[in-house]
C-alpha cells in the first residue's frame, strides 16, 4: 500500500477513535486496533504528527503515580476526518472506473 495513503488511513482511524472521547496511548492502541492493526511504535509518531498539525490536543495527568498523556480531537481534527471521508469517496469512484475499464479490456 502507498505510504501516504496508509498514513492518511491511520490518521483517520486515530481521529475517529478520539471522536468517542479523550483517550491515552495504551487504550488508543487497543481501540484503533479494532479498526486497523497498529502498534505502540506506530501510534506515538502519529499522535505527535496530529498534535503538531493541531488535529489533537494533549494534556498530562497523574494516574497511579505516573504521568499519562491524554489526547483529544480538535475542531480541525473533526474537519480532517470529514475531509478524509470525502477524499476516500472520490478515490473509490475513480477506482471503480479503473476497475470497469480494466475488466472491459480483459473481456475483449
What DSSP line would sit under 14-81, residue for residue?
A: HHHHHTT--EEHHHHHHHHHTTS---HHHHHHHHHHHHHTTSEEEEEEEETTEEEEEEEE-HHHHHHH
69 phi and psi angles, rounded to 5 deg: -90, 130
What is residue 6's predicted lDDT score, i.e. its pLDDT? Answer: 84
Q: Partners of 56 in the beta sheet?
A: 73
**Domains detected in the chain:** 3-107 (1.10.10.10)
Q: What is the pTM of this model?
A: 0.86
* Segment 16-47, tens digit of pLDDT: 999 999 999 999 999 999 999 999 999 999 99
CB-based contact 70:23 (threshold 8 Å): yes
Amino acid at each position: 500500500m502507498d505510504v501516504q495513503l496508509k498514513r492518511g488511513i491511520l490518521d483517520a482511524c486515530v481521529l475517529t477513535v478520539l471522536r468517542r472521547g479523550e483517550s491515552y496511548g495504551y487504550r488508543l492502541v487497543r481501540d484503533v486496533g479494532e479498526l486497523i492493526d497498529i502498534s505502540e511504535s506506530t501510534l506515538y509518531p502519529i499522535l505527535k504528527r496530529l498534535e503538531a498539525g493541531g488535529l489533537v490536543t494533549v494534556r498530562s495527568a497523574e494516574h497511579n503515580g505516573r504521568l499519562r498523556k491524554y489526547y483529544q480531537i480538535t475542531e480541525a481534527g473533526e474537519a480532517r476526518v470529514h475531509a478524509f471521508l470525502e477524499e476516500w469517496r472520490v478515490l473509490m469512484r475513480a477506482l471503480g472506473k479503473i476497475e470497469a475499464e480494466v475488466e472491459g479490456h480483459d473481456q475483449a
